[in-house]
Amino acid sequence: MKFSEMQYERPDINKANNVFENLLQKLQNAERLDDCLAAYAEIDEYGRYVSSMFRLAFIRNSLDTTDAFYAAEMAYCDEAGPKLQEIKQKITEALLRSPFRSELENRWGTLMFDNAELALKTFAPEIVADLQEENRLTTEYDNLIASAQIEFDGKVLTLAQIGPYRESSDRNVRKASAIAVSNWFIERADKLDTLFDSLVATRTRIAQKLGHDNFTKIGYYRMQRNCYTSDDVAKFREGVVKYIVPLAARLKAGQADRIGVETLTPYDDPFQYPDGNPAPIGTPEEIFAHGKKMYAELSNETAEFFNFMLENQLFDVLTRPGKAAGGYCEDIPLHKSPFIFANFNGTSGDIDVLTHEAGHAYAAYMARDIYPSALQNYSSETAEVHSMAMEFFAWPWMDGFFGSQTAKYYEYHLAAAITFIPYGTAVDEFQHIIYDNPGMTPKERNALWLTLEAKYRPWLVPDGIDFYEQGRRWQAQPHIYENPFYYIDYCLAQIVALAFWAEAQANHDTAWEKYRRFVSFAGTKTFLELVTDSGLPTPFATENLKIVSDAAVKWLDDRN
C-alpha cells in the first residue's frame, strides 16, 4: 500500500483499553492451546494496529508541522501512549503465567519470554512516582540544553548552531567558539551538578525499591541485556584500551599532522581536513538516483527492498518549508512498511541517510513477516549493527557519491568509526562507576571523568578550556542524563560492523551473505547469538578486538 493511501484514525484510548481488556480475558480463560494461540494472535494484531496509528500520526506531523489536524493527533497520541502501559503489562504477565507457556516456548522459542521477564523486573507500582520524577529531571536537562542562547560572531546561537564554528579552518575562530560553549556550561555548572545528583538519587531509589543495591542491574534490564553482563562489558573495555586506543591515537596524530597543529585540543578535534570534510557531488535528486542504483546492484533482496520503498512512497528526503528537522527511520507494522524521513542538505549526512537509515529500514523490511511481532524487535546493539555495517557494505558505490573525494571519504568514515569507540567506552565506564557508587560528590565525578579522558583519549589536551580542564565534558552528553547505559551499544555495534567491514575487504560477497543472514533473524536470537552465528568474533573477549584493529592497521598501512 502506498503511504498516501494508508488510512489514519485516532486510536481512541478508552476503546483500545476495552479491546485489550477483553482480549486479556480471552487469553486468561483459554482452556486449550488453540484458544490461547487465537487470543494471542488477536492481541498481536490489535497491538500492531494501535502502534501503526501512533506512528502514522508522528510521521505525518513531521512531514508537515503546519498541518493542524496531525499536530492535534500527535498531541493526543503522546498523551494516550503511556495510558496503555498498564494493560500491556497485564497482558505480558498473563502470557508469562499461561498454563500453556511451555507449548508456546516450543513454538516461538524462549527469547520473547526472557525479554518479557526482564521488562517486568524494571517495574513495580511503588516506583511510579519515582519514574515521574526521573522523567521530570531528564526533561529539565533537555530543556536547559535546548534553551542555550550563546552570543557569538554577532549572533545569538543555540548549541547546534554554534557547531559549524568548531570546524572552521581558522584556529582562532575554533578556539573562540569552544570558549563560548565552555563558558555557557560553566555558568550552569551548579544546575547541571544538582540535576545529575537528583537523577542518580532517584535511580538508586528505584533500584532499591525493586530489590537491588544500586541502579546498574536495573539499567541493564531496561536495555534488555539478555546475553551479557557488566563483567563481559569490562572485558570489552580492556580490549578497547589495549587495541582501539592506540589505533585511534595513530589516527588522531595523523589528523594533527594534516591540520598542522602540535597537539590536538578540544577545538581542533572536530576539524579533520584543511580543505573541509568530504562532501557528495550532485543534486539531491542525483544522489538519490545513485542510491537506487547501489541497492539494485548490491543484492536481489536490497533491490527488491528499495523498489518496495519507492513504489510505496516510503522515502521523504527532500527539504521543504514546514517539514520537521532531522531524520529517522520508522516502521508501520500494519502495512509491513518502513518509512525514511530526512532533509538532504548536500553534506555527507545525505549519504548516511541512504546507508545508515536505509540499513535500519532494510532490517525492518526483512523482519516484516516474523510472528509474533515481538520477535521482529531487537535490542539496540543489534539494530545499530544493521545500520553501521550497511554503511560499510555501501563502500564499493561511494565513487558515485563522492567522485574524486572517494579515498578521502573512506579514510574519514573509518577514522570516525574507530575514534568514536574510546569516547563511547569512557561514557559507559563513567556510568558504571557512578551508579555503583551513588554517594560520589560532583567533584569526585569530575575527577573521575578526567582519569577516564586520560585513559581513553590521551591525545586530547584541554589547553585552558575550563569545561575540559574541570572534567565537565560529560555534562554535554545527553545519554548520561537521559538514557543510562545506552552508550555502550553504539561501541559494541561499531566493533561488529568493523568486523563485517574487515571480512568485506577480503571477500565482499561472503561477508554480505553473513550480514544478510544476521539481519534475517531479526529479534529471534540474542545479540551474542547473532554475532557468533555469523562466525564473527564476540566483542566480549579482550583479544578479539585485535582482529578488528589489525585489519584497520593493515588497511591504513597499505594506503601509505
Closest CA to 250 of 424, 407, 418, 463: 418
| Binding segment (CB under 5 A) for Zn ion, from list 119-127, 380-388, 396-404, 414-422 | 380-388
Residue 60 C-beta: closest distance to Zn ion, Å: 22
Contact letters (x/-) for Zn ion, 45-84, by CB under 5 A?
A: ----------------------------------------
Closest CA to 357 of 325, 386, 377, 332: 386
Q: Indicate the pairing of strand 155-157 with strand 315-316.
A: unpaired
Asked whether 146 and 158 are in contact (CB, 8 A), the reply is: yes
| Binding segment (CB under 5 A) for Zn ion, from list 115-123, 273-281, 346-354, 385-393 | 385-393
Contact call for residue 387 and Zn ion (CB under 5 A): yes
Contact call for residue 494 and Zn ion (CB under 5 A): no
Residue 356 C-beta: closest distance to Zn ion, Å: 6
| Binding segment (CB under 5 A) for Zn ion, from list 89-97, 227-235, 386-394, 501-509 | 386-394
Residue 342 C-beta: closest distance to Zn ion, Å: 13
Residue 494 C-beta: closest distance to Zn ion, Å: 11
Using DSSP's 3-state secondary structure scheme, residue 90 falls into helix
Residue 251 C-beta: closest distance to Zn ion, Å: 22
Contact call for residue 355 and Zn ion (CB under 5 A): no
Residue 452 C-beta: closest distance to Zn ion, Å: 25
Q: Which is nearer to Zn ion, 362 or 459 (CB)?
A: 362
Q: Which is nearer to Zn ion, 355 or 446 (CB)?
A: 355
Q: Indicate the pairing of strand 315-316 with strand 337-341.
A: parallel
Residue 341 C-beta: closest distance to Zn ion, Å: 13
| Binding segment (CB under 5 A) for Zn ion, from list 118-126, 194-202, 379-387, 507-515 | 379-387
Q: Which is nearer to Zn ion, 51 or 387 (CB)?
A: 387
Residue 384 C-beta: closest distance to Zn ion, Å: 5
Query: How far apart are the C-alpha atoms of 280 and 276, rounded to whole Å?
Result: 12
Contact letters (x/-) for Zn ion, 152-191, by CB under 5 A?
A: ----------------------------------------
Query: How far apart are the C-alpha atoms of 456 and 449, rounded to whole Å?
Result: 10
Query: How far apart are the C-alpha atoms of 136 and 293, rounded to whole Å?
Result: 47
Place of cell 581536513: 273
Query: How far apart are the C-alpha atoms of 292 and 306, rounded to whole Å?
Result: 7
| Dihedral sign of CA atoms 316, 413, 297, 329 in order | negative
Residue 88 C-beta: closest distance to Zn ion, Å: 25
Label each residue of 495-524 as H, E or C.
HHHHHHHHHHHHCHHHHHHHHHHHHHCHHH
Asked whether 325 and 343 are in contact (CB, 8 A), the reply is: yes
| Binding segment (CB under 5 A) for Zn ion, from list 27-35, 114-122, 241-249, 383-391 | 383-391
Return the residue nearest Zn ion (CB atom).
387
Q: Which is nearer to Zn ion, 387 or 419 (CB)?
A: 387
How many of the chain's residues bind Zn ion (CB under 5 A)? 1
Burial level of 350, CB count in 10 A (0-12/13-18/19+)?
buried
Window 299 to 328, contacts with Zn ion (CB under 5 A):
none
Buried b (16+ CB within 10 A) or exposed e, 207-231: bbebeeebbbbbbbbbbbbbbbebe
Q: Which residue type sits at 126?
A: E
Query: How far apart are the C-alpha atoms of 510 and 490, rounded to whole Å?
Result: 24
Asked whether 166 and 178 are in contact (CB, 8 A), the reply is: yes
Q: Which is nearer to Zn ion, 185 or 501 (CB)?
A: 501
| Binding segment (CB under 5 A) for Zn ion, from list 92-100, 156-164, 382-390, 473-481 | 382-390
Q: Which is nearer to Zn ion, 387 or 538 (CB)?
A: 387
Residue 360 C-beta: closest distance to Zn ion, Å: 6
| Binding segment (CB under 5 A) for Zn ion, from list 78-86, 206-214, 308-316, 381-389 | 381-389
Q: Which is nearer to Zn ion, 152 or 328 (CB)?
A: 328
Q: Which is nearer to Zn ion, 302 or 387 (CB)?
A: 387
DSSP 539: T
CA 113 to chain centre: 24
The residue ranges that bind Zn ion (CB under 5 A) are 387
